Amino acid sequence: MSAQHVSTGRSVLSRRLLLQGLGLGFTTLAVNGITSGVNAQTMQSGAPLKVPLPGEAPLKVRTDRQLGTIVIFGSSTAAGCGTSMWKHDPTAENGWDSPPSSWAGRFRAALAGRATVINRSIGGTNTADSLKRFDTDVVPHAPNFVILATGWANQVGKTPKERAQSYINDALTLVRKVRAIGAVPIVICDSPLSVGDNAARVAQFEVGRAMDANGILRWSFCGTAATDTFGFMPGLTPDNYHGNDVAHEAYFDAVDIGMLDMAVQTSSRRPVSADKCGAWTISETSPTRPAVRIAPFYRPRSFTAILTFKPAVPAADMVHEDKIVTAFNYVEGGEEKPLRLVAGDRYRVLAEGSDRVLMESDLPATDGVPHQHALVYNHLRDELRWYMDGKMIDAVSGLRGGERLVAFTAGGADGIGQAPVGSVISGLLFYRTAHLSAEISRIYSGDVGRGSLSADVVDGALSGGVAINTVTTRLDLAVSGVAAAQSPSKNCAPAVALNPEAAKITTIRSAR
């Protein structure tokens, strides 16, 4: 596999869902050689999911839970416009179905047998239209979940700020309406758009931040199919407004079915720090096993993995031998292969199964100074980006071949090399979408968008001062490790009620 450089430049279930008793079935899985029972249609690669920590308690993972009725309530992109199989908006005559090649069609197929998916999306509509037709188009279906997927292009407002604020106000009202009928809302408020200026496209991210501030679940489509200026990647749109089949496949890859499995509510957007949210000191007991391993049961193709690493001081041994800070494992030909971020005399990213250097930083890894690292892989670009402290260090392409991500490890890798004993890992974040540069910069500044988090380890129920065995922050996700953990503060990231004041926009920031 060759690589080439490219230019750098918890809320509970809704009351009604509980009352209906929707078959909360559990499948008990052994830790070694886990097979989740999720088929390829639901984004599982088909290979066993391994969490190689013998002697730990079995995981209980909800993989067969019935989800009830899901209404997709949006505009043209949600209706499938732009795909090769789109002919018209969903209708009662076709069972409110979606074009099979659209993200909504793939979503319906993935949940076949587990949920009834109804698409009530209408092209050319905006959030004001959604409010007008909510009682007639959503309420009669008695949904358990409502996916609010109104697009950005038709939003009313003279300026990007006005458009974003009107979207936020209407979206918060729609969320209240969804909750009032006992359903769980999920918002999709950003997707690529190749029309208008940069400020107009960036404004939709202010909507996402407002949803985060109000504890609302959301999915993000921009990272999977957009450029750094939030337009479509080349070849992904027939009209600059809508994605084609390839774009919709990428959108679907960003859909976090685990949010439905858990019916969780995202916590408040708040800066994350190790002293409040927990950190992991890398142990001497098992230097060839990771301090923390995050293994998604719904395996993504694109992802963003973030952590802060503070080297041990003194760190003289790092000068003579690279120590593994983090790795991500992917399946290729039925075999797990890792790419590794290591700390030696400086930080490097190494290719799988070798010491071939893909990327290298100029900063020393032995100064005891903490740095935030972000590894971002975009499947469509076939590009791996490496950021330190919010700035891109380098990027490589030509890594294609990995089918799906199996695991992201922090503080070492399974059986490969040595971990940096005594160093500290903190601020773990994992997203099943490839964040763009502006988003990485904002996360580094403390503006952590939790809406699309696939896992937020700092919110997990980790036991302070004891060895981690196996914990789950989300039942669709295994988190395990062998390091000692500091106890996270209960106030790290509390869930919040709807707060219109938190959703007021002061400025619209352009992409950097």
Structure confidence by residue, pLDDT tens digits, 356-406: 788 999 888 878 888 999 999 988 888 899 999 999 999 988 776 556 777
Q: What CATH number matches the domain at 274-485, 3.40.50.2300, 2.60.120.200, 3.40.50.720, 3.60.60.10? A: 2.60.120.200
Distance, C-alpha 57 to centroid of its chain: 27
**Residues whose CB is less than 8 angstroms from the CB of residue 427 and which lie 6 or more positions away in sequence, other chains included:** 272, 273, 274, 277, 306, 307, 308, 372, 458
SS3 state at 258:
helix
* Per-residue confidence (pLDDT) for residue 14, from 0 to 100: 30
Nearest alpha-carbon partner for 271 in 390, 389, 447? 447
Location of each CATH 2.60.120.200 domain in the chain: 274-485
Which ranges of the chain have pLDDT less than 70? 1-65, 261-280, 283-291, 295-297, 313-320, 331-334, 352-355, 400-403, 414-415, 449-512
Helix, strand, or coil (residue 191): coil
Q: Provide the angle, in degrees to the nearest 10, between the axes of the packed helices 198-213 and 437-444.
A: 40
Q: What is the DSSP letter of 175?
A: H
Q: How many CB atoms lie within 10 A of CB 383?
A: 18
Query: The tokens 């587990």 sit on which residue?
Result: 114
Q: Which of 217, 211, 215 is nearest to 263 (CA)?
A: 217
* Beta-bridge partners for 467: 484
3-state helix, strand, coil in the chain (%, to 5): 20, 25, 50
pTM assigned to the model: 0.76
Sign of the alpha-carbon dihedral angle for 292, 298, 302, 304: negative
Superfamily of domain 68-266: SGNH hydrolase (3.40.50.1110)
Q: What is the DSSP string of 345-383?
A: SEEEEE-TTS--EEEEEEEES-S---EEEEEEEETTTTE
Phi, psi for 478 (deg, rounded to 5)? -95, 130
pLDDT at 189: 83
Please report the pLDDT score of residue 495 as a whole number.
34
Are 75 and 121 within 8 A, CB to CB? yes
CA distance 430 to 294: 8
